[in-house]
Amino acid sequence: MLVAAAVCPCPPLLVPEVATGAAPELDAARAACVDAVGLLAAARPERLYVVGPVGAGAHGAYPGGTTGSFAGFGVDLSVRLGEGPSGSGADRSADTAPLAEGDGALPGERGTLPPSLAVGAWLLTRTHWAGAPVEGLGVDVAATPDHCAGAGRELAASAERVALLVLGDGSACRTVKAPGYLDERAAGFDAEAARALAAADTAALLALDAGLASALKAAGRAPWQVLAGAAEGAGLDGRLLFEDAPYGVGYFVAAWS
């Protein structure tokens, strides 16, 4: 059962070493993310899943101990997703069974963290996570709402006390300088996403239009819908800790408990 969730954006620029001189521009977002992740430990989960958007070739499960790197962003910085088996900190090999196919679960297992999950691993390191074992789930940005919700239900059913760290950005079309240029629909999409995250409104999250999200380059849609599936019937309350659109991209931080 889901007992807590933290929702954070996942631009690599959250990592100060990647942002370099622009790092102070995201200080407020960083601080809100740290606060949201800190609340997860207070829920005393038995298992923590880090959920983030990925491309079709990278979707699937990432076991604890999987490593990632920001070398692709010009920074010699590596991260690890929690610890390896038996808390050793060693990498886990690919013999760990991924989530089973069916009921909306997203199959597959990979050996290197994609950028979104690497940001999640960095956040856990920054907050000195020492609670429950950690696993990752990369969610195809094109996954249907039904598949996302089904995957979330499976995560929630995997232990009596489950927590999620959900990574994902809103639209990337808020200004003419945004990655997706200006789209007049972006502000409304982000406003509805922010409202749903603030209210822990699972129905509203599941109602976010996948086609519109794709057009607006809103990679958070699929992970948020995994969260919605996991939270069904959990009776959680939500709080929005941060909302802004730096660089023309919608960033939201929320805590559910």
Q: What is the pLDDT along the chain (257 residues), one digit of tens a residue?
A: 999 999 999 999 999 999 998 888 899 999 999 999 999 999 999 999 999 999 988 899 999 999 999 999 999 999 999 876 534 333 333 333 333 333 344 444 457 999 999 999 999 999 999 879 999 999 999 999 999 999 999 999 999 999 999 999 999 999 999 999 999 999 999 999 999 999 999 999 999 999 999 999 999 999 999 999 999 999 999 999 999 999 999 999 999 99
Q: How far apart are CA 239 and CA 152, in angstroms?
A: 20
Strand arrangement of the beta sheet that strand 251-256 belongs to: 60-62, 134-140, 47-54, 162-167, 2-8, 251-256, 238-244
Domain range for 72 is 2-256
State pTM to two decimals.
0.90
CA R_g for the chain? 16
Count of residues in the chain:
257
Nearest CA-CA partner of 81 in 35, 32, 31, 137: 137
Region label for 21, one of left (φ > 0), alpha (ψ between -120 and 50) or beta (otherwise): alpha
Q: How far apart are CA 4 and CA 237, in angstroms?
A: 9
Q: How far apart are CA 216 and CA 227, in angstroms?
A: 20
What is the CATH classification number for the domain harbouring 237?
A: 3.40.830.10
> Helices 27-42 & 115-126, crossing angle to 10 degrees?
70
Residue 226 and residue 105 in contact, taking contact as beta carbons nearer than 8 Å: no
Q: How far apart are CA 24 and CA 32, in angstroms?
A: 14
- How many domains is the chain partitioned into structurally? 1
